[in-house]
């Protein structure tokens, strides 16, 4: 069953944050992930949640999504993201 990583990222320093993407993309690919949403237009119809930079990644399973998130490759990218942004991350099973 597919699993998804859903992230809402508020970038505080775009120049510093640029290094995150360079490291995160290879880590995503290594664990079989692919971006299905990356900072597209958001049209809020109900509620008050207005994401800053919304990203949704698809993995073949929750196990692969966890391997990605906990991997040494992503840990390095995550350190950059945490320094230059604030974020909310979810890992969720698909149907």
> Which helix (H) or strand (E) covers residue 64, if one does?
helix 62-70
Residue 84: what pLDDT? Answer: 97
Task: Pull the structure tokens for residue 68.
Answer: 């990605």
Local confidence band at 63 (pLDDT 50, 70, 90 cut-offs) = very high
Q: Which CATH number fits domain 3-41+51-93: 3.40.50.2300, 3.50.50.60, 3.30.70.100, 3.40.50.10540?
A: 3.30.70.100
Q: How many Å apart are CA 92 and CA 58, to the nearest integer?
A: 10
How confident is the model over 50-76, as a mean pLDDT?
96
Residue 86: what pLDDT? Answer: 96
Show me where the domains of the chain are located. Answer: 3-41+51-93
Q: How many Å apart are CA 90 and CA 10, to the nearest integer?
A: 15
Q: Is the pTM of this model over 0.85?
A: yes
CB 12 within 8 A of CB 52: no
Helix (H, G, I), strand (E, B) or coil at 12: coil
**Average pLDDT across the chain, whole number:** 96
Residue 73: what pLDDT? Answer: 93
Residue 32: what pLDDT? Answer: 97
Residue 65: what pLDDT? Answer: 98
């Amino acid at each position: 069953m597919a699993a998804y990583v859903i992230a809402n990222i508020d970038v505080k320093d775009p120049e510093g944050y640029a290094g995150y993407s360079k490291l995160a993309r290879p880590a995503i690919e290594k664990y079989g992930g692919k971006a299905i949403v990356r900072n597209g237009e958001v049209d809020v119809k109900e509620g008050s949640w207005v994401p800053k930079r919304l990203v949704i990644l698809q993995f073949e399973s929750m196990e692969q999504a966890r391997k990605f998130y906990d991997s040494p490759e992503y840990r390095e990218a995550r350190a950059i993201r945490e320094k230059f942004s604030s974020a909310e991350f979810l890992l969720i099973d698909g149907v």
